[in-house]
C-alpha cells in the first residue's frame, strides 16, 4: 500500500494504515486521526476503538493551575527537559461560554519555548464540559497509540471540570504562584488531592518560600499514603527548576509502576469514562429533544410563565422515557 499522488493513503482497511503512518511519525496523519476522533459519530468510535487497542505505553502528565500561573511556559520547557524523541502536548484551551472561540495567546507564547520535535494539539472546551471528559482521553489514546511519549495535557483553571481532566493523567502537576493565594485557597479548589507534584512558579517573587511553607503545612494535614507530593520551585521564564521538575515526574512514574498505583488509576479512569460517555450521549438526546417541536412548545410556555422550568422538564422526560409496554 503506497501513498497516492496527493499524499493520502489508500487501503482496504484505511484506519490500520492511518495508525501505521502516525506511528511512523507522519504528523499530518496523526492530526487527521485526532480530528476524526473529535468529530464524533461512527468514524470517531472506530478511531477510539483502534486507539484503545494500541495505547497504554505513554507517560501521561497533566499540568494544571489557575490562569496566569505560567503553565504554558512550564509545559513547553518540560518537553525540552524530557529529551524524548516524540513528545506531544495536548493543550486544553478554555473557550468563552458565549462565543465558543478559543484564545490563542498562550499558544503563541508557548511556541518559542517548545522544541520543534513536539507534536502540539489544541482542544477547545466547546460545548459541554462533559464532551471534554470524553474527548481528552480519546485524544490521549490516539497520541499514545501513535507512539508519542510523554504526553503532556495542559489545562487552564481550577474548577471541578479542570480538576477532573487533570485527574485523567498518570501524574498531575499543579502550578501555583506566590501571589495566587494561600494554602487554604489551593485546598478549596480541590487541588491538594489531585496533585502528585506541586510547582511554585515565579519563584523569584518575594513570597515564594511562604507559598511553599503553606503547601507543606497543608500536605502535613492531609497526608495520602505512599506518596507525598513534592514541591518544586521554578522560574519558568528563566528555565530555572525545570530539570528538578522533570526529575520529580520521573520519580513519580517509577512510584506508579512499583506500587501498582498505575494499574489502579487507569482502571478507575476507564470506569469514570464509561459514565462520562453514557452521560454525553444522553445529553445529545436532550439537546435533540429541546430542539424538537414538542421541546420548543414547552419552552414557549416557560417563556410566558405558564409552566415552571421543573414542570417543563418533567414533560420532556416523559417523552424521552416513554412508559414501556408490559
- Site residues for a copy of itself, 219-258, by CB under 8 A, read none
- Binding window for a copy of itself (CB under 8 A); candidates: 144-152, 209-217, 239-247, 285-293: 285-293
Cell 478559543, residue located: 102
- Binding window for a copy of itself (CB under 8 A); candidates: 14-22, 81-89, 253-261, 272-280: 272-280
Q: How many residues bind a copy of itself (CB under 8 A)?
A: 79
Residue 24 vs 100, nearer CB to a copy of itself: 100
30 counts as binding a copy of itself under rule CB under 8 A:
no
Member of 15, 31, 52, 251 binding a copy of itself (CB under 8 A): 52
Give the separation between CA 142 and CA 316, rounded to whole angstroms: 37
Residue 10 vs 278, nearer CB to a copy of itself: 278
* Residue 178 DSSP one-character state: G
Residue 1 vs 320, nearer CB to a copy of itself: 320
Member of 217, 267, 294, 297 binding a copy of itself (CB under 8 A): 267
Residues 27, 36: contact at Cβ < 8 Å? Answer: no
Q: How many CB atoms lie within 10 A of CB 54?
A: 16
Site for a copy of itself, residues 105 to 124, rule: CB under 8 A = 105-106
316 counts as binding a copy of itself under rule CB under 8 A:
yes
11 counts as binding a copy of itself under rule CB under 8 A:
no
User: Least distance in Å: CB of 243 to a copy of itself?
Assistant: 26
What is the sign, positive or negative, of the torsion defined by CA atoms of 105, 106, 109, 115?
negative
Residue 9 vs 313, nearer CB to a copy of itself: 313
Residue 82 vs 124, nearer CB to a copy of itself: 124
Long-range contacts of 180-187 (CB under 8 A, 24+ apart): 180/65, 180/66, 180/69, 180/211, 182/211, 182/214, 183/211, 183/214, 183/215, 183/217, 183/218, 184/218, 186/214, 186/215, 186/218, 187/218, 187/222
Site for a copy of itself, residues 61 to 100, rule: CB under 8 A = 66-68, 93-99
Residues 203, 235: contact at Cβ < 8 Å? Answer: yes
Site for a copy of itself, residues 129 to 188, rule: CB under 8 A = 129, 137, 156-164, 167, 177, 179-182, 184-188
Site for a copy of itself, residues 32 to 51, rule: CB under 8 A = 45, 48-49
Cell 477532573, residue located: 164
Rounded to 5 degrees, φ, ψ at 86 are -135, 60
Q: Which of 34, 63, 40, 60 is nearest to 122 (CA)?
A: 34
Amino acid at each position: 500500500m503506497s501513498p497516492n499522488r496527493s499524499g493520502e493513503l489508500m487501503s482496504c482497511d484505511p484506519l490500520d494504515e492511518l495508525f501505521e503512518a502516525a506511528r511512523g511519525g507522519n504528523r499530518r496523519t496523526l492530526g487527521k486521526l485526532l480530528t476524526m476522533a473529535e468529530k464524533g459519530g461512527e468514524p470517531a468510535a472506530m478511531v477510539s476503538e483502534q486507539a484503545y487497542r494500541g495505547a497504554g505505553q505513554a507517560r501521561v502528565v497533566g499540568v494544571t493551575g489557575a490562569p496566569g500561573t505560567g503553565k504554558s511556559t512550564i509545559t513547553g520547557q518540560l518537553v525540552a527537559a524530557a529529551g524524548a524523541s516524540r513528545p506531544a502536548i495536548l493543550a486544553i484551551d478554555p473557550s468563552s461560554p458565549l462565543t465558543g472561540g478559543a484564545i490563542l495567546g498562550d499558544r503563541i507564547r508557548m511556541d518559542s519555548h517548545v522544541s520543534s520535535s513536539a507534536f502540539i494539539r489544541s482542544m477547545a472546551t466547546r460545548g459541554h464540559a462533559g464532551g471534554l471528559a470524553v474527548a481528552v482521553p480519546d485524544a490521549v489514546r490516539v497520541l499514545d497509540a501513535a507512539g508519542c511519549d510523554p504526553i503532556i495535557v495542559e489545562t487552564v483553571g481550577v474548577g471541578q471540570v479542570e480538576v477532573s481532566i487533570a485527574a485523567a493523567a498518570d501524574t498531575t502537576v499543579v502550578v501555583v504562584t506566590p501571589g495566587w493565594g494561600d494554602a487554604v485557597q489551593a485546598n478549596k479548589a480541590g487541588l491538594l488531592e489531585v496533585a502528585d507534584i506541586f510547582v511554585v512558579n515565579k519563584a523569584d517573587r518575594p513570597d515564594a518560600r511562604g507559598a511553599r511553607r503553606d503547601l507543606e503545612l497543608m500536605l502535613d494535614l492531609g497526608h495520602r499514603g505512599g506518596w507525598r507530593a513534592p514541591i518544586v520551585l521554578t522560574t519558568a521564564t528563566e528555565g530555572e527548576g525545570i530539570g528538578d521538575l522533570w526529575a520529580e515526574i520521573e520519580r513519580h512514574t517509577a512510584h506508579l509502576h512499583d506500587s501498582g498505583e498505575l494499574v489502579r488509576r487507569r482502571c478507575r479512569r476507564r470506569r469514570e469514562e464509561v459514565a462520562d460517555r453514557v452521560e454525553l450521549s444522553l445529553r445529545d438526546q436532550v439537546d435533540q429533544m429541546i430542539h424538537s417541536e414538542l421541546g420548543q412548545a414547552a419552552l414557549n410556555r416557560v417563556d410566558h410563565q405558564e409552566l415552571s422550568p421543573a414542570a417543563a422538564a418533567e414533560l420532556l422526560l416523559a417523552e424521552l422515557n416513554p412508559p414501556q409496554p408490559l
